[in-house]
Structure 1
Amino acid sequence: MDTKTGADLLSDDLPAAGPSAIPDAPPSFQDSIAAPAPNYNSVFAGDDIFIPYGGEEPPPEFTPYEAEYFVDGNGDIVSHDPHLNQDGEALYRFLLSHSQMLPDFRVHLRGWHSETRTRQVTRTENGRTKTMDEEYTEVVIDFDFSIDVGQHIVAGPIHWSLPDDEPAYRGNMYKEIELYDQDNIEENSNARVLRRKATKVERKLSEDRKKEQNTRGLPPWVASTATGVDHIATDQVEVLKSSKTLRQWADEYCASNKLLKEFTYKKVVYGWHRGHLKTHIEELIKSTYYSGTYEVDFRTTNAKIFVRSDNRLSRILSNKWLKFLLILLLIYPFIWLYKHFSRRGGGRWEVCGGAYALKKWHPINLKADQRTDSPLPPHLQHNSHLYDQEIYDMPGTSKLIGMREGTWYEEWESTIKRAVTGRLQSTVPLKQPDERPSLADQLLEGFGAASAFTDHVPRLLSSIVN
């Protein structure tokens, strides 16, 4: 009779999942970083993305590997593929390939109120049946809908990494900071890198910075205290802040022998000041005389790529139902202790990701007559008047590409009002405001001619009078 030890169970493989369906070979690093934009099935083909300063050497060419993965309930990609846990190049290519998929970014609006109602209940006490009135409170949803904002993304991904002095998960179950060996840094350019656990104060300051970045819509490589960064072109800043390249982080993850390790690639949408936009939407809801409780928040799905170790226990923990069963059986607390305190337990790497812009500044030639326009992605060109508005921060320096949050709010203002007063509840995000003509309408010959003539009449009469 064969017996298996706990280590054997950890190393046993679950039935292999089907191969991922990636129709094309992953792009080279040159295409990912230096190209105008990743080829989202030709959606973002063009010459409007730039090479960020601080990029990396392109990886060598090799035969593409189709790794197994699945998509969880949040739209995130999760892979337990054994090759991705052994080969840093394969892991690196996997991240570059799946970072091309745009994150789903929405603004969600929800309103509700509580009502006290009365119902009749029948109870039996001491053999006697009584019917009485009972009051209870019920929450009533007034409106619940979301608006697709991710459709306005004009650039990305731009691969970024956290600086060494930023608290982050770098292979352990606690956040660390990287320090150089000061005794050898002057004598040896390859000085040993030291890591120490981030203090509580450092972690708190880091969380505050991230909240500020999120509120102001800053990219991950810009400090939350920075001013005047909104008009800086992407290719004029260094986005890879870490002393290690993304490929080196992938190699470090693959070299680890921890049984419950995890590498996370995070997608970040930036460009809009979410704090200001949220305030204006809240004021808009108030203007409808809505008296209930409401909330406005921004939600991102398909925002992470997880690569986890290839063993039975790791796969079980990726299944929310099996994990819930372990919690009910009081087994999960022991797994948690093993993961957090054993040398071969768990390890997390969360140091890099991709950034996707809702608006950006495009550098132009110094002379006005030599300016080169940056073409919009094809799926945005039918509304080009909303995205490319010839806005310059300084003469001959850079030009704004993309939709500004104020333009978006002005376009959606009346639609949001009608949705709130009409008690709209929908799980499908709204993609187009009521006033904007659909693409099918714009294809009709003569569509909009009447309004164009009406707009021209006052100018014609004014010219005749004058």
Structure 2
Amino acid sequence: MIIPDDDKKKADPATEPLIGSSSHVQVPEEAPPPSFQESLAAGAGPSTAVKNPYSYYNGNLADSDVFVPPGGEEPPPFTPYQAEFFVSGDSIISHDKHLNEDGEALYRFLLSHAETPPTFYVHLRGVHTESRTRMVSRRVNDGQYRTHHEHYTENIVDFDFPIDIGQHISSGPVHWSVPDEEPAYRGKMYREVETGEFAHAGDLEGIVQQRERRHASRTQVKMGKARRQERRDRGLPPWASLECESGPGHTGADVQHTRVLKSSQTLRQWADEYCASDKLLKEFTYENVVYGWHLVNLQLAIEAAIKSTYYTGKLTVEFKSSNSKICVRPDSQFSRMLSNKWIKLVLILLFIYPFIYLYKRFGRRGGGRWEVCGGAYALKSWRLVDPSSEPPPPFPGTAASDSRVVYTRTGTARIVGLREGEWFQQWEKTIRRAVTGRLKSTVPLKEPDETTSAAMMLDGYRPHGQF
């Protein structure tokens, strides 16, 4: 493009070189910057931006002068992969194809669903039997009907209601894995233990390095089940070692900060191993566990409170949970059929399911189970505090004036969450009232009965638990 001579002469004075000394040059007086109202009046709108897209005001690019080319909109925000799933019983089940092929997707799927704690409640039920008599007419040999009395027993439900405990979960999840010496399902249809040796030498990139495993004996399986049940009854976390907790001076704070991933493989490596398997009826299970309360002692306290109402029927106190398992299974029509409990029941009644189990147990590409990890949620936990703020006593295990503080070998620990004794103190009167009132409900109770306002007005009255 040819530039006319007139435009060359009209150069910008600010870019002209200074000639001579500064005393002979007259610098024009700098004008103050325009106000905001003057800038708006100047018409700095879209039309101005198109004419001069790179114009600057006071050294900065004006908001109205930003040029957006066609198709240059900002990309949508990143969204994680949403796998399809459904809830069946106390399990979250998914047959998503991507979760069976990508270990990272399976790992993220487990972590995302583990953020929601399971529902945990105690179910109270009382039943007694009554003998009743009814008139029954039966046909005898001569063709005549004769009526006689028949005695029978009938179960009468006195009370049946649950109480929500999961609302008091104070922390979690803590992702844990089973120890190598613990019998567990590690890809086969029977429980195995790790030997600590590798089956194949070398570590190829992108391939899971397989470890040698040994079939667990019946004695090991039986002892493993007993240890898991004892941990649950005593409110211990799934990674706690019972052998180390039987010594004197033990408190829950001693096992709260121990290593929780006791397996030789990480959770991500277990997910990669599952996805690399070619089994047709494989299954990966992630179990959510609620711990922290001594459930046996709490059960005995609840039974004693009910019996104090002179109840003599058959009493049942059970701790249950729902949405406690996350199961991932292959994306096939046959696998989806087995996930349907009604179809599975029909297969059992027709004696077809035993043959399916034999194929899963002995077939080369039959079935495989992975039950090696999970998430732990604490109702009551111990948190180490700064020892400078609370000096330790002469002997470990001595309680301080604050009942929620205990001194252990590892330092000062403070209880976080609601203790089972505090919970029972709040609910004891409500449990007795519900039993005597023959309460029957399928909706878990969430709030205990409160002290009446009339009782609070009495001189000398103290609410239950205050001294």
TM-score (norm 2): 0.73
Deviation at 1:193, TM superposition (A): 2.6
Maintained 8 Å contact 2:198/2:212: no
Separation (CA, whole Å) in 2 of partners of 1:131 and 1:390: 70
Q: What's 2:253 paired with?
A: 231
Give the drift of 1:231: 2.2
CA shift for structure 1 position 433: 0.7
Give the whole-Å Cα distance in 2 for the aligned partners of 1:405 and 1:68.
38
Counterpart check, 1:87 vs 2:109:
no
1:332 is matched with which residue: 334, 345, 353? 353
Determine whether 1:161 maps to 2:177. Answer: yes
Work out the percentage of aligned pairs sharing the same amino acid: 56
Structure 1 counterpart of 2:406, from 387, 393, 400? 393
Pick one of 440, 443, 447 that aligns with 1:425.
440
1:123-162 per-residue CA deviation (whole Å, 9 max, x = no partner) reads 1212111111111111111111111000000001000000
Q: d(CA) in 2 for partners of 1:425 and 1:456?
A: 32
AA matched with 1:332: Y
Deviations 1:301-333 (A, max 9, x none): 110000011111110000011112222332212
1: CA distance between counterparts of 2:300 and 2:258? 30
Indicate yes or no: 2:111 matched with 1:96: yes
Q: Which residue of 2 aligns with 1:132?
A: 148
Equivalent in the alignment of 1:262: 283
2:196 aligned with 1:196: no
CA contact (8 A) 1:181 1:192 kept: no
Change (3 A) 1:107 1:200: same
How many Å apart are 1:106 and its aligned residue? 0.5
- Deviation (angstroms), 1:456: 11
Distance 1:328 1:450 in 2: 61
Instruction: Mark the CA change 1:70 to 1:134 in structure 2 (over 3 Å): closer, same or farther.
Output: same
Give the C-alpha shift of residue 334 in structure 1. 1.3
Match of 2:296 among 275, 292, 298: 275
- The Cα shift of 1:289 comes to 1.0
- Whole-angstrom CA distance in 1 between matches of 2:446 and 2:183: 38
Instruction: Give unpaired runs (5+ residues) of structure 1.
Output: 1-61, 371-388, 438-447, 458-466
Residues in 2 aligned to 1:180 and 1:244: alpha-carbon distance in whole angstroms? 11
Q: Equivalents in 1 of 2:457, 2:255: separation in Å?
A: 36
Instruction: Show the counterpart of 1:141.
Output: 157
Where does 1:43-442 land on structure 2 (aligned, <5 Å)? 64-74=80-90, 76-125=91-140, 126-181=142-197, 193-225=211-243, 226-227=245-246, 228-232=250-254, 234=256, 236-368=257-389, 391-394=404-407, 397-435=412-450
Q: Compute the displacement of 1:369 (Å).
A: 7.8
Q: Deviations over 1:396-422 (max 9, x none)?
A: 722111111111111111111111111
SS of 1:289's partner is coil
8 Å CA contact 2:176, 2:239 repeated in 1: yes
Paired residue secondary structure (2:270): helix
- What amino acid is aligned across from residue 211 of structure 2 in structure 1? V
* C-alpha distance in 2 between matches for 1:360 and 1:210: 19
Residues 436 and 172 of structure 1, relative CA distance in 2, 3 Å threshold: farther
* 3-state secondary structure, aligned to 2:253: coil
Separation in 2, partners of 1:144, 1:211:
25
Tell whether the 8 Å contact from 1:159 to 1:354 is kept in structure 2 after alignment: yes
> Which letter maps to 2:294?
H
Distance 1:335 1:86 in 2: 24
| 1:443 corresponding residue in structure 2 | none
Q: Helix, strand or coil for the counterpart of 1:434?
A: coil
* 1:252 CA displacement: 0.2
SS state at 1:181 partner: strand
CA distance in 1, matches of 2:96, 2:147: 62
CA shift digits 1:31-65 (9 cap, x unpaired): xxxxxxxxxxxxxxxxxxxxxxxxxxxxxxx8611
SS in structure 1 opposite 2:383? Answer: strand
| Cα distance in 2 for residues equivalent to 1:300 and 1:328 | 28
Residues 175 and 288 of structure 1: is their aligned pair in 2 closer, same or farther, counting only changes over 3 Å? Answer: same
The answer (yes or no) to whether the contact 1:233–1:361 under 8 Å persists in 2 is no
- Mapped contact 2:309–2:432 kept (Cα < 8 A): yes
Shift of 1:282: 1.2
Give distance in 1, aligned partners of 2:155 and 2:390.
62
| AA aligned opposite 1:410 | Q
SS in 1 for 2:116: coil
Structure 1 residue 424: deviation in Å? 1.0
Alpha-carbon distance in structure 1 between the residues aligned to 2:358 and 2:416: 50
Q: When the two structures are aligned, how many residues end up with a matched partner?
A: 363
CA–CA separation in structure 1 for the residues paired with 2:461 and 2:150:
67
Partner of 2:9: none
Instruction: Give, in angstroms, the shift of residue 453 of structure 1.
Output: 9.8
Measured on the aligned residues, the alpha-carbon RMSD in Å equals 2.7
Residues 391 and 399 in structure 1, CA contact (< 8 A), matched pair in contact too: yes
Whether the 8 Å CA contact 1:210–1:224 is kept in 2: the answer is: no
Gap change, CA 1:316 and 1:182, over 3 Å in 2: closer
Shift of 1:260: 0.4
Give the Cα separation in 2 of the matches to 1:243 and 1:254.
18
Displacement of 1:394 in angstroms is 2.1
* Aligned partner letter, 2:375: G
Task: Give the TM-score, by structure 1 length.
Answer: 0.73
Letter in 2 for 1:121: V
- Structure 1 residue aligned with 2:57: none
What is the rounded CA distance, in whole Å, between the counterparts of 1:147 and 1:192 in structure 2?
Answer: 45
